[in-house]
Amino acid sequence: MTQLQDGAVRYEQNGNIAEIVLDRPSKHNALTPNMYRQIATCCAEANETASAHVVIFRGAGERAFCAGSDIKALDGYEDFWAWRNRFDYTPPILDLRKPTIAAIKGWALGGGLEIALACDLRVVAQSTVFAAPEVQLGWNGAGGAAQHLTRMCGYGQAMKILLTGDRFSATEADRIGMIEYLVEDGQELHRAREIAQTIASHSSMATQTVKATIRGAMDGMSITQGLAQENELMSLCFAKAELAKQKGSA
């Protein structure tokens, strides 16, 4: 992708593993509206590329995953209505059918926290610092932190994080169940790639259907609805395997 003055988001692929890289290290990978759209473009590319089985999100440089939205960029919106109807970055991540992993280091604040929470798995370096500081600026976050934190960590922990805006450590994030892997500094991307390789070694249809069933449960399906979805998707996996067998014997 063309490198923009206000930052860029890069799509890379190595084998069956795609990586979406937030590339504005001089500003701790803080997001601009152009970067919002590039995230969507990269997510669409990952969805449409059959050979991409897993997607890793990471930040360029050594100091940050993502420090959130660049506050100065907010001045570019004409008024509150333009802001309300902005193009946002979280929905394209949630629309990814492929399993997603966030490899997190340094700062993961505001929108950076929201991106991490929108991914399916989080691999976090020990020295990472998280926060949702929006309330300290006079507003609430709008990229899904309340939705995901409440589901992952419970009502009280979500309230604590979002009402105070206080920073908290990777160890605390691990304690409250917000992350899946806590690793030594400098090992987060290596470990994320190892996990991605394990997932990518499975049938892509199987991993995508697993993700769909878990997302369905999180979105409030009844047990009856969830079981029906699981059965239908399992049948599709069987049908694909049978078709492949028939082609192989033809």
Active site amino acids:
114, 134
Structure tokens of 166? 């206080």
Buried-state track 133-171, b at ≥16 Cβ within 10 A, e below 16: bbeeeeeebebbbbbbbeebbeeebbeebbeebeebebe
How far apart CA 74 and CA 33 sit, in angstroms, is 9
Which residue reads 């067998």 in tokens?
A: 245
d(CA 225, CA 131): 36
Structural contact between residues 47 and 95, judged by C-beta atoms closer than 8 angstroms: yes
| Order of all β-strands in the sheet with 54-59 | 8-14, 17-23, 54-59, 100-104, 121-125, 181-183
Q: What is the Cα–Cα distance from 246 to 250, expressed in whole angstroms?
A: 6
- The secondary element (H helix, E strand) that includes residue 116 is helix 111-118
Give the whole-angstrom CA distance, residue 147 versus residue 108: 17
